[in-house]
Structure 1
Amino acid sequence: MTCLSKLESSGDESNASLKLKRDQRKGNRRKGAMLYLILIMMIGFMIAVAFSVDIAHMHLARTELRSATDAAAKAAAIELSITLDPDLAVTRGQEIAAANTVNGEPLQVRADEFVFGRSRELNSGKFDFTVGGVPSNSVQVDGKRTSGSLSGPVPLFFGNIFGVNAFEPETTATATYIERDIVLVVDRSGSMQGQKFADLVTAIDVFVATLDGTPVEEQVGLASYNDFATEDVELTGDLTEITDGMRALPVGGFTSISRGMAAGAAIMDRSRNPDFVERTLIVMTDGNHNRGPEPSTVATTLAADGVVIHTITFGRDADKRRMRDVATIGGGRTFHADDGADLIEIYREIALTLSTMMTQ
């Protein structure tokens, strides 16, 4: 009995030892598989990090290229407006491009990557650029960091991993240096008395201040109307004359929008050379036309002479339909202000739109 017990005990120990060894081998295999999985995950993580770094690097390079190209186009357009010399415009554009870095290196632009032409403003407020259009008022610049460019491509940090060693971004910028002659035509009829006219004076103040803060050269004139019209301020670069002129206007009488537009047209006839200057008439009213010729007749004449007409209606009694027709004929936009706050924002918006330089 004792011997049998010993044998059974010995067998149990042997089975336990075998089981322990099998468990150890399974554990080792699990550890090996886990380490292998961790290794694969680490490699994948490192690849993802490398990919993310290069993507961020590419985005930064593209942004820097865009900024440098924009700056070169603006500088060239300004130089062209001053000297009317394309060669000097190219030189200035190249200088400004080189003052901006892309991937830590100055951007170099070849002379043949500057294209000259003419831009004209569409009804949508966008600009249409024609290569070689004369007289030139726009410069288009092709900014490149490619293998064929002077600056070469942008090297990637981990390009060897993906089999792509460089990034080759390209961008195009078009700048138009626009000088504008603007005539404001304002309503001083009897319905404008009191707060309405005070709101108009404030809105014109904001318009003038906004123009003063832009890089574009503007001259502004002022015409006003009731049942008759006056040419109150000739086109001038001293915009304080406009604000002073507004405060001196008498208010009262009926409403002849067409006579006001004709007075504005007379001021515009004495503007600068239209080949180099955009001419804009901004006509405002708070009422209904009830004296003189139909405004659309004057608008047709102005539009044929290349003058863009924007219209503003102010208050619930303003003739929106007629003013919308005038703006359509004049290739401009029509705005409506319910109150003084709206009127201020409209004049600010127009001033900012008129001062656009980057056109693509």
Structure 2
Amino acid sequence: MKSISNQHRAGSAMVAVVILVSALFVVAAMVINLAHIQVVNAKVQIVADASARAAGRVYAETGNEAHALVAAQQLAAMNPIQSVVVPIEAGDLEYGLSTRNSKNKAYTFTAAENGNSVRVTTNAFANGSGTGVSTVFPAFGQGMEIRPARTATNTQSTLDVCLIVDRSGSMRYAANEDSRSGSRPASEPSGWSAGDPVAPNSRWLDLVASVNGFCDELSLTAKSEKIGLVSYASDVTREVDLTTDYSEISASNFAISSSYYNGMTNVGGGIEDGLLAVTHPKYARPWANNALVLMSDGNHNTGTDPLEAAASAASQQVPIYTVSFSDEADQVLMQQIADMTGGTHYHAVDAAQLNEAFRNIARRLPSMLTE
């Protein structure tokens, strides 16, 4: 009897061990699955973020919803999760307005036509479209798929931007002329003197047309960008404080064109005054992001060191988008300024390229993920 009792106890203990091991295995499987689900959730969020950025950029540049969808799909395809591509369908994209009333407040998205935001939500994936991501272990003997719905919103931010333009003596010349030759601009009337209208084929008039194109691009958006204008030669002038009335920019440039003066090239001083313009307590908006657009056709030769001024912009997190114009321009310096501040450098050799550079900048001004 004693032997039978011992055998019974041993059998019971073995059963308990088997049950315990099985329970531990189930718990371990659940923990591993939960950890895997969290990883997949994070990766689907990355896909949503990348897709929203791509869609937002294309939509800002083209205004075309079909093109924005293709861009989102392409980015999703470039970020597969365990060979699973998250499907992005037309219904996953929403277009609208994202606004805030302070820099330390969150953006609020509202669906609207011709807005400043594109929101991507992985609804199609969550609702069963395409292949799901499998769990590491089956649950209750059944295979499970992980299909989270994740949202990301890309917003073209509210912007206060200052255009900083070169009105030095070299801007009297045509883009294909050498201002250092000692001869007058070919299209300049005989007897021209400082204060007369600028020559008809001048770089300055090419710039005026390009600035108008910049303003035209921004006027097509649902955002309310403020634009300021600073001009520089030997001196620096705040031509227009930040405004939503872009006609003031055109009027100021027309006035300069009508009475043009020679001067040197104080690039650094222009940057300094542009910074003051976008941070002006009366005209700048505390919730807006700031940017500078700097144009030059030559070489800095007087006033503030441009790299010191650019360092000040970088410390205030104000990007500078630079445009060098003509073969005389210091492309190296303009690239350095853009690199230091997080902007982009463009180079143009003729009026058409200059116009396209300014339009590209207007289309690509800062965007961000706001959700």
Using the size of structure 1 for normalisation, the TM-score is 0.58
Q: Which residue of 1 aligns with 2:90?
A: 64
CA distance in 1, matches of 2:101, 2:117: 9
* Runs ≥4 residues deviating over 6 A: 137-140, 357-360
Instruction: Please provide the CA RMSD for this pair.
Output: 3.5
CA distance in 2, matches of 1:228, 1:89: 43
Q: Which residue of 1 aligns with 2:167?
A: 188
- Which SS does the other structure have where 2:336 is aligned? helix
Structure number with larger C-alpha Rg: 1
Please tell me whether the aligned partners of residues 65 and 143 of structure 1 are also in contact (alpha carbons under 8 angstroms): no
Aligned with 2:246 (options 239, 257, 270): 239
CA distance in 1, matches of 2:118, 2:216: 28
Matched, 1:267 2:297: no
Tell which deviates more after alignment, 214-223 or 172-181.
172-181
Shift of 1:208: 0.4
CA distance in 1, matches of 2:108, 2:323: 38
Matched, 1:217 2:224: yes
Shift of 1:142: 3.3
CA distance in 1, matches of 2:170, 2:298: 7
Q: Which residue of 1 aligns with 2:141?
A: none
Structure with more of its chain in strand, by fraction: 1
Shift of 1:293: 2.2
String of CA shifts for 1:265-290, please: whole Å, max 9, x gaps. 2212215355x311001110001111
Structure with more of its chain in helix, by fraction: 1
**Which amino acid in the other structure matches residue 206 of structure 1?**
G
Q: Which residue of 2 aligns with 1:252?
A: 262
Q: Which residue of 2 aligns with 1:208?
A: 215
Q: Which residue of 2 aligns with 1:142?
A: 121
Change (3 A) 1:230 1:243: same
Number of equivalent positions:
237
Using the size of structure 2 for normalisation, the TM-score is 0.56
Change (3 A) 1:338 1:175: same
* Structure 2 unaligned residues grouped into runs of 5+: 1-86, 131-146, 173-198
Please tell me whether the aligned partners of residues 218 and 363 of structure 2 are also in contact (alpha carbons under 8 angstroms): yes
Change (3 A) 1:177 1:313: closer
Aligned with 1:338 (options 327, 338, 349): 349
- Which SS does the other structure have where 2:274 is aligned? helix
Q: Which residue of 2 aligns with 1:25?
A: none
How do residues 344-359 of structure 1 correspond to structure 2 at under 5 angstroms? 344-354=355-365, 356=367
How do residues 108-187 of structure 1 correspond to structure 2 at under 5 angstroms? 142-145=121-124, 153=128, 172-176=151-155, 178-187=157-166
How do residues 258-297 of structure 1 correspond to structure 2 at under 5 angstroms? 258-270=268-280, 271-274=283-286, 276-297=287-308
Aligned with 1:226 (options 233, 243, 266): 233
String of CA shifts for 1:133-187, please: whole Å, max 9, x gaps. xxxx9996634246xx7xx5579xxxxxxxxxxxx79564423251000000000
Change (3 A) 1:179 1:198: same
Q: How many percent identity over aligned positions?
A: 32
CA distance in 2, matches of 1:302, 1:154: 47
**Higher RCO (Cα < 8 Å, 6 or more apart):** 2
CA distance in 2, matches of 1:287, 1:177: 32
* Structure 1 unaligned residues grouped into runs of 5+: 1-60, 97-136, 156-167
CA distance in 1, matches of 2:263, 2:250: 22
Aligned with 2:317 (options 306, 313, 326): 306
